[in-house]
């Protein structure tokens, strides 16, 4: 059905992104102006502009033939992403616990994840998951970390989009994050850091299996 909104391009970016993160557009699938214009009922110049935005956000990549496609995240890509991501999240947890910082924002993010309807799409769960992790980072109270961390979010969501089989029940993803947040709330730095490390290691193992 045709898209309508204040900015058709922005709405289109959001729709293509949702299709990618839900798996409806699979890794390696071509992103063509003609195909997307027909799929969403918009003009090709609008699609062209949206694709440039998706390319800038790492939600599209150029194939060997230079055409655009849904990114293919390799095992090496995942390892490199977690090489950067893991120290940031572990240090954030250490600071939160050591300084007894409030985690209300993270609790709100988790509550939103837990409130998702059983029939919510995997893309919706991916979005809620990301907002939770961004909130945890924010609880550490580092403006510079707040600037650095979001730069990885789109690639992190591409990774999570591939993990739906690891969370077969609707509440599985939220339940795992409840365990993680409980560890952070415990005030035990070792427990909190261990919980975060194990959480990230589990995700990486699933991605590189």
Binned at pLDDT 50, 70 and 90, residue 5 comes out as: very low
pLDDT > 80? residue 4: no
CA 146 vs CA 21, 37, 159, 176: distances in Å: 23, 36, 21, 24
**CA 13 from centroid of its chain's CA atoms:** 15
Structural domains of the chain sorted by starting position, each given as residue range(s) with its CATH number in brackets = 8-69 (1.10.10.10), 75-208 (1.20.120.530)
Strands (E), 36-93: 61-62, 68-69
pTM assigned to the model: 0.84
Give the tens place of pLDDT for each residue, 126-154.
Answer: 899 999 999 999 999 999 999 999 888 88
């Amino acid at each position: 059905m045709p898209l309508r909104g204040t900015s058709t391009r922005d709405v289109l970016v959001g729709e293509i992104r949702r299709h990618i993160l839900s798996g409806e557009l699979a890794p390696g699938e071509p992103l063509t102006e003609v195909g997307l214009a027909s799929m969403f009922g918009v003009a090709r110049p609008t699609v062209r502009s949206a694709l440039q935005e998706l390319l800038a956000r790492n939600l599209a990549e150029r194939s060997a033939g230079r055409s655009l496609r849904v990114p293919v995240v390799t095992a090496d890509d995942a390892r490199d992403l977690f090489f950067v991501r893991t120290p940031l999240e572990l240090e954030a947890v250490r600071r939160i616990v050591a300084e007894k910082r409030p985690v209300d924002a993270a609790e709100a993010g988790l509550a939103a994840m837990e409130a998702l309807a059983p029939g919510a799409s995997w893309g919706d769960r991916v979005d809620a998951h990301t907002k939770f992790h961004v909130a945890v980072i924010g609880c550490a109270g580092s403006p510079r970390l707040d600037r650095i961390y979001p730069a990885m979010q789109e690639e992190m969501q591409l990774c999570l989009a591939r993990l739906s089989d690891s969370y077969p029940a609707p509440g599985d993803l939220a339940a795992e994050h409840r365990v993680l947040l409980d560890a952070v709330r415990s005030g035990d730095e070792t427990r909190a850091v261990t919980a975060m490390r194990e959480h990230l290691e589990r995700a990486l193992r699933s991605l590189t299996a």
